[in-house]
Chains A and B, each alone.
Chain A
Amino acid sequence: AQSVTQLDSQVPVFEEAPVELRCNYSSSVSVYLFWYVQYPNQGLQLLLKYLSGSTLVKGINGFEAEFNKSQTSFHLRKPSVHISDTAEYFCAVSPGGSYIPTFGRGTSLIVHP
């Protein structure tokens, strides 16, 4: 069985500062990895995904993530955040061939002016 750990429940940061949201997973097989964002009172939407190939994945809104197989991590980064990035961020993992993604508990990114 796979699991996803988002190490920080809340990350406060000032506008224009860099940010990293951490995600670690456990799985005995190859995985597909995703980051989703949830704005207040909305559903989740995809930020980026890693299926195979280059370990550095670029997504929407200037976010990127790096897959590190040896550390079983898929941390999300943005070099300069905006107020509008304030949201809940979820990391998700699907073991190869599985129909069921597993989500982490989420990290609340709070961007202060």
Chain B
Amino acid sequence: IAGITQAPTSQILAAGRRMTLRCTQDMRHNAMYWYRQDLGLGLRLIHYSNTAGTTGKGEVPDGYSVSRANTDDFPLTLASAVPSQTSVYFCASSEAGGITEAFFGQGTRLTVV
């Protein structure tokens, strides 16, 4: 089934540890995004990529990094996790950026303790 796959689905992580959230899409979409969802704050953009080889910072990029080596993959790395990074993380993609709808993965629930 075409779409976006995120892994893991959930994770408990010790503070200070490094963690990479994986995101793969098979729709050949140019644009990809990482959002975090927190109660009462909705979805906040962490990083985005308009096309393979380029990335940009969103609203809340501190403590996170991304790479876009190819069209399909857009991993999100927490270099040294902190409790405030406890959240649900969603990866999304769209064919032509903001003029087409975004397709979302099922999310990764991350708890930093």
User: Residues of A with Cβ closer than 8 Å to B?
Assistant: 6, 9, 32, 34, 36, 41-46, 49, 51, 90, 92, 94-106
**Contact between chains at B102 and A101 (CB < 8 Å):** yes
**Contact between chains at A51 and B58 (CB < 8 Å):** no
Give every chain A residue within 8 A of B50 (Cβ-Cβ): 99
Give every chain A residue within 8 A of B61 (Cβ-Cβ): none
**Contact between chains at A100 and B106 (CB < 8 Å):** no
Give every chain A residue within 8 A of B102 (Cβ-Cβ): 34, 36, 44, 46, 92, 101
Number of CB contacts from chain A to chain B under 8 A: 65
Q: Pull 15 A–B residue pairs with CB atoms less than 8 Å apart, ordered by A.
A: A36-B102, A42-B106, A43-B106, A45-B104, A90-B42, A94-B98, A98-B97, A98-B98, A99-B31, A99-B98, A100-B33, A100-B45, A102-B45, A103-B35, A103-B42
Give every chain A residue within 8 A of B2 (Cβ-Cβ): none
* B34 → chain A closest CB, angstroms: 12
**Contact between chains at A100 and B90 (CB < 8 Å):** no
Q: Which residue of A lies closest to B101 (CB)?
A: A46
Q: Which residue of B lies closest to A106 (CB)?
A: B42
**Contact between chains at B97 and A99 (CB < 8 Å):** yes
**Given A34-B102, A44-B90, A94-B99, 7 more pairs with CB closer than 8 A:** A9-B40, A43-B90, A44-B43, A46-B101, A98-B98, A99-B97, A106-B43
**Contact between chains at A100 and B48 (CB < 8 Å):** yes
**Contact between chains at A105 and B104 (CB < 8 Å):** no
* B35 → chain A closest CB, angstroms: 8
Alpha-carbon separation in the docked complex, A87 to B5 (Å): 22
Alpha-carbon separation in the docked complex, A103 to B34 (Å): 13
* B95 → chain A closest CB, angstroms: 11
* B103 → chain A closest CB, angstroms: 8
Q: Which residue of A lies closest to B35 (CB)?
A: A103
Q: Which residue of B lies closest to A49 (CB)?
A: B101
Contact with A along B90-113 (1 / 0, CB 8 A): 101010011101101111000000
